Amino acid sequence: MRPVRTRLFSAAFVAVVASLIGLVIPLVLKWIVDGPVAESDPGGVWLGALALLLLGIAEALLFGFRRWLVARPLSRVEADMRAGLYRHLQRLPVAFHDKWASGQLLSRATTDLMLLRMFLAFPLTFLLVNAVTILAGFVLLLAQDWTLGLVLTVPVIPLMILCSHFETRYALVARRAQDQVGDLTTVVEESVLGIRIVKGFGRHRSQALAFRELAGELRTTELAKARLLAGIWAAITAIPELAIGAALVLGTVQVADGDLSAGTLVAFLSTALALRWPVESIGFLLAMSQESATATERFFEVMDEAAEENTDGGHTGRPDGARQHRPAPPAGGLRFEGVEFRYPDAPADSVPVLERIDLHIRPGETMALVGATGSGKTTLTALVPRLYEPTGGRITLDGQDIAELPRETLRELVAVAFEEPTLFSATVGENVLMGAGPDAGTTELRRALDIAQAGFVDRLPQGADTQVGEQGLSLSGGQRQRLALARAVAGQPRFLVLDDPLSALDVHTEALVEAALRRVLDDTTALVIAHRPSTVMLADRVALLSGGRIAAVGTHQELLRDNAEYAWLMSGAEASAEEARTR
């Protein structure tokens, strides 16, 4: 709020002035009743009416001016907070996104920030304005007649107790409701993104039941909020009304006895009625304040998460932040030195996913990484671009520790293609050129598509300008995988990490892609996860990952001859491939 605080303070001041003008109106009424009306002076009545009209116009204009003061800057505050949250989400480590539901993040970026803007625009100002108005109003009431003023002052104590109780209970319910909105958003998002699975397995009924259950829980919570709000609203409406009724009876008796002028009674009751809205709005303002407080808490739950720093200095991911001091290895290539890794939420005494990984991929060499399912291959490759931080050891590129490289520089040096390709709601060309520099154009795009054997792009309705749609689901699995491979090679990276990049291709397309990749890999240091012998044949050497460790390194033929586990893995892969070809 700091950049717009001047306009916020100005708006609050204008609103206070407008509200105080409203309290002048009862004083004018007193003058009209005790003066022109009592003296049968029509001219004075018209003068008083004109004064009331001018006061009303001034009050309306000031409240409109207040709205103008805050509308634009607070929209900017909301937009800046939303942009800040989005930027922060991009910088948060993958481990954070692994444990947070996307719907919860989406609700924080939309609903919660909308609540915050509404709070800043209205309740924040009017909590101050109404407090000043009520205080000034009660001073006027006591000044006009202290006995009647006390009648209206007595209910303040029970109202404060009720509001405190309401605030505590409403905060809990409001938090529960906003969390449930996040859960509901997650279900909708997953159902839409997974609509093919839902339809393919006929699970629409179970998904609808799951949604209905969550929607029912949210409905119950919202009704609980409504009951609390109804209770406090009833109390803060009824108690002051009873007090005003009592003051009316007492004031009428005093007028009849000649102890009070009719004009003073009219002014007193008009002032009391003018305070009805500031008092009655307390419940509404407190409710919005609590929802906004909860929204702020949820917003900062994300913003307070530690983001990836562009460079970590000496931080290696180990608990004590200490760096292992080793002799500098020979420069060149990609090297893993005593690398260990366990996931951030794993117990400290749990067995690491990766343990004492020592592996050297020479400059310009292609290393195939082979292992059984669950052996840690994908996790190992995710450490190279620092999607995860190793909990021990270090990784070097051409002799430089990646922990000392700015992430931006590191990810310019290393390109990745995952087994499950992700495409964005953009054109084919925009998706592919995400892997290239900002100046990349048609030449780089065409080269990358040729390497990935993605000639199907030319047959799309608008060629490379075709929108692929959300998640690229309008394309086949093999087409998505080829575009992901094209994205990885578009920037001609020095280091390439490929996670089984050809698994969705037919044997003929696979052969063409392999032939093109060989030309690329001649100038690139590459680590390729392989499950099939055809992919292994792209590599100069093969590393076998078993039980979280590198069990063997050698050529394909050497490992077939000397390592039973590798021979078993490859024989199973060959049998599966042969079975697929003969179907």
pLDDT, tens only, 252-293: 888 888 888 888 888 888 888 888 888 878 877 888 888 888
Higher pLDDT, 510 or 220: 220
CB atoms within 10 A of CB 220: 12
Q: Residue 215 to residues 111, 195, 219, 292: CA-CA distances in angstroms?
A: 16, 19, 6, 22
Higher confidence at residue 38 or residue 312? Answer: 38
Residue 395 CA, chain-centre distance (Å), reads 31
Cα–Cα distance for residue pair 293/159, rounded to 1 Å: 22
Q: Which helix (H) or strand (E) holds 128?
A: helix 123-144
pLDDT for 326-383, tens place per residue?
Answer: 344 445 789 999 999 988 777 777 888 898 899 999 988 888 899 888 888 888 988 9
> Kindly report the CA angle at 219 between 215 and 221, in degrees rounded to 5?
120
What pLDDT sits at residue 572? 63
Contact criterion met (CB below 8 Å) for 560 and 567? yes
Banded model confidence at residue 208, pLDDT cuts 50, 70, 90: confident
User: In this predicted structure, which of 121-130, 167-176, 219-228 has the lowest mean pLDDT?
Assistant: 121-130
Task: Sort 46 into a burial class: Cβ within 10 Å, 0-12 / 13-18 / 19+.
Answer: exposed
Encoding tokens for residue 29? Answer: 């009424």
Taking the complete model, does pTM exceed 0.75, yes or no?
no
Q: How far apart are CA 116 and CA 288, in angstroms?
A: 9
Q: What is the rounded CA–CA span in Å between residue 295 and residue 178?
A: 8
Let me know: does 87 contact 75? Beta carbons within 8 Å. no
Q: Does residue 502 contact residue 510 with C-beta atoms inside 8 Å?
A: yes
**Strand pairing category for 414-417 and 495-499:** parallel
Distance CA 564, CA 560 (A): 7
**Residue 147, C-beta contacts closer than 8 angstroms, at least 6 positions apart:** 250
Q: How high is the pLDDT of residue 329? A: 43
**What are the angstrom distances between the C-alpha of 422 and each of 114, 161, 176, 216, 472?**
30, 55, 33, 34, 7
Length of the chain: 583
Q: Is 197 helix (H, G, I), strand (E, B) or coil?
A: helix
373-389, pLDDT tens digit by residue?
888 888 898 899 888 88
Please determine, for residue 5, whether its predicted confidence score (pLDDT) is greater than 50.
yes
Q: Are strands 354-361 and 334-341 parallel, antiparallel or unpaired?
A: antiparallel
CB neighbours of residue 554 within 10 Å:
16
Residue 240 to residues 191, 274, 345, 386: CA-CA distances in angstroms? 50, 12, 54, 63
- For residue 507, what pLDDT is reported? 66
Q: Is the pLDDT score of 181 beyond 50? A: yes
Cα–Cα dist 420/473, whole Å: 12
Question: By the 8 A CB rule, do 370 and 566 touch?
Answer: yes
Domains of the chain, with CATH numbers?
Answer: 2-303 (1.20.1560.10), 334-418+494-582 (3.40.50.300)
Residue 317's pLDDT is what?
A: 42
Computed over every residue of the chain, the mean pLDDT equals 83
Identify the three-state secondary structure at position 267: helix
Task: Name which residue leads in pLDDT, 440 or 472.
Answer: 440
Distance of CA 87 to the CA centre of its chain: 10
Q: How far is CA 263 from CA 151, 251, 267, 274, 540, in A?
A: 19, 11, 6, 16, 102
Per-residue pLDDT of 285-331, as tens digits, reads 888 888 888 999 999 999 998 887 665 444 444 433 333 433 444 45
What pLDDT, on a 0 to 100 scale, did the predictor assign at position 41? Answer: 81
Asked if residue 391 lies in contact with residue 317, where contact means CB atoms within 8 angstroms, the answer is yes
Kindly state the helix (H) or strand (E) to which residue 339 belongs, with its residue range: strand 334-341
Task: Quote the CA–CA distance of 244 and 236 in Å, as a whole number.
Answer: 12
Of the candidate ranges 114-123, 242-251, 485-494, 570-579, the one whose mean pLDDT is the lowest:
570-579
pLDDT at 322: 35
DSSP-derived pairing of the beta strands 541-546 and 366-371: parallel
d(CA 122, CA 128): 10
**C-alpha span between 505 and 111 (Å, rounded):** 42
Q: Within 13 A of 153's CA, how many CA atoms are on the CB side?
A: 15
Start-to-end CA span in the chain (Å): 66
Q: Which residue has the higher pLDDT, 62 or 122?
A: 62
Structure tokens at 45: 């009545």
CA dist., res. 110 & res. 364, Å (int): 47
> Distances from the Cα of 79 to the Cαs of 1, 75, 107, 117, in angstroms?
12, 6, 15, 9
